[in-house]
Amino acid sequence: MLATKTPLAVDLPLGSNTIVVTDLVKRYKGAELNAVDGISFSVREGELFALLGPNGAGKTTTISILTTTLVPTSGVALIGGHDLARDPSGVRRAVGIIFQKPSLDLNLTAEENVRLHAILYGLFPYRPFFPLMPVAYRDRVRELSAILGIEREMFKPMKTFSGGMKRKLEIVRSLMHRPRVLFLDEPTAGLDAPSRRALWDYLREVRAETRATVFLTTHYLDEAEDADRICILDKGKIVAEGTPAGVKRDLTHEYLVVDAADRDALRLELAGRGIAHRETPLFEIPLDGVGAHAILRSIDTPLTTVRTVAPSLEDAYIKVLAHS
């Protein structure tokens, strides 16, 4: 059970573009180079879209512009049908964001943080104390605290919360106003492995129930493997985009690794049969449309090692950055 059980208010048909970015440029004051250098991309309704790139690639700059906290130097962006320049308030209403650095007031309780957010977004009227808040709000907070397992901590100062718990609370808070697009700027940075896994389990649940579009930036390539589409940014420019499988296919190749006790015989046989390969020192045979089974059947030399290698997104990522 999730906080946002009601489907989001969706004006655009599923599959249409909910984020459209055209020629976006950002040059910080005094900088000689553009932090974001004329990027264009679109994100479809309900997609999990991952923006990848090394430190300083322009990921946070892009996300800051798309969430109205930073003014672009030039370019156009439409978020949920709202023009970033002309209707920033509409954009703010349409998006939820988890910033790279937690933006919780640690002097307040978890509930007070959630309440401030709910009032700022016009979801509930201001009341000075939790018991005076409308029943709907109190029910929602109880529901959220049950999901997070923090029924007792909900009314204690945030200082006692772990990093993972703070992140979860931020996600819960950002979903209070049922945003159409959820921006996550390196949401798992600084979390330990169990917290990362728990957070992603929770995010999958959120996506399944809310159908919100998720725009993610991350350093962890395994997190982007689940994305519907990815976009790799380097030095402010897009250097690759598409589905994770597509990007991998375009940039890397699946290959067969074999070895034999009699390496000279194997080398001769591969050359004789015209099978392209390279020695690293094992024999790597690219599988460009050729089945591993067919290649293995054609080799007579007794093999000591046989395995296929499917490159990860990380391999593709490193390759594309090396090229750029």
Partner 1 sequence: MIAAGELHSIAALAQRDLTKLLRDRARLITTIIFPFIFIGALGGTLSANFGRAPGFDFLTLTFTGVYAQTLFQSTAMGMISLVIDRENDFSQELFIAPVSRYTIIAGRILGETLVALPQALAIIAFGLVIGIPISPGQLAALIGTGLVVAFFGGAFGVLVLAFLNNQRAANQVFPFIFLPQFFLAGVFAPIQVLPWYLEIASRIAPLRYAVDFVRGVFYAGSPDYQHVVLEDPATNFAIIAPAFVICLVVGTFFFVRSERNR
Q: In this chain, which of 117, 166, 167, 168 binds partner 1, going by CB under 8 A?
A: 117
Q: What does the DSSP 8-state code read for residue 109?
A: B
Closest approach of Cβ 124 to partner 1, in Å?
Answer: 8
Q: In this chain, which of 54, 121, 237, 287 binds partner 1, going by CB under 8 A?
A: 121
Tokens of 285: 């045979």
CB atoms within 10 A of CB 241: 18
Is 126 one of the binding residues for partner 1 (CB under 8 A)? yes
> Looking at beta carbons only, is 29 or 293 nearer to partner 1?
29
Is 167 one of the binding residues for partner 1 (CB under 8 A)? no
Give the CA count within 13 Å in the CB-facing half-sphere of 74: 4
Is 199 one of the binding residues for partner 1 (CB under 8 A)? no
Tokens of 121: 């977004």
CA–CA distance, 152 with 240 (Å, rounded to integer): 46
Q: In this chain, which of 28, 83, 151, 205 binds partner 1, going by CB under 8 A?
A: 28
Q: In this chain, which of 2, 20, 25, 70 binds partner 1, going by CB under 8 A?
A: 70
> Looking at beta carbons only, is 30 or 274 nearer to partner 1?
30
Is 159 one of the binding residues for partner 1 (CB under 8 A)? no
> Looking at beta carbons only, is 180 or 277 nearer to partner 1?
180
The count of residues interacting with partner 1 (CB under 8 A) is 34
Q: In this chain, which of 38, 102, 163, 246 binds partner 1, going by CB under 8 A?
A: 102
CA-to-CA separations, 95 to 19, 118, 214, 279, in angstroms, rounded? 11, 14, 10, 51
Q: In this chain, which of 41, 99, 255, 317 binds partner 1, going by CB under 8 A?
A: 99
Closest approach of Cβ 37 to partner 1, in Å?
Answer: 17
> Looking at beta carbons only, is 112 or 143 nearer to partner 1?
112
Closest approach of Cβ 256 to partner 1, in Å?
Answer: 49
Q: Select the span of 37-45, 92-100, 212-220, 283-291 touching partner 1 (CB under 8 A).
A: 92-100
Is 119 one of the binding residues for partner 1 (CB under 8 A)? yes
CA–CA distance, 313 with 230 (Å, rounded to integer): 10
In terms of DSSP H, where are the helices of 130-287? 135-148, 163-174, 193-210, 221-224, 244-251, 263-272
CA-to-CA separations, 246 to 39, 46, 231, 292, in angstroms, rounded? 20, 19, 11, 20
CA-to-CA separations, 160 to 71, 106, 147, 262, in angstroms, rounded? 35, 9, 18, 63
Beta strand 303-309 with 255-260 is antiparallel
> Looking at beta carbons only, is 67 or 252 nearer to partner 1?
67
∠133-137-138 over CA atoms, to 5°? Answer: 75
Residues forming the site for partner 1 (CB under 8 A): 28-29, 67-71, 89-90, 92-93, 95, 97, 99, 101-108, 112, 115-117, 119-122, 125-126, 128, 157
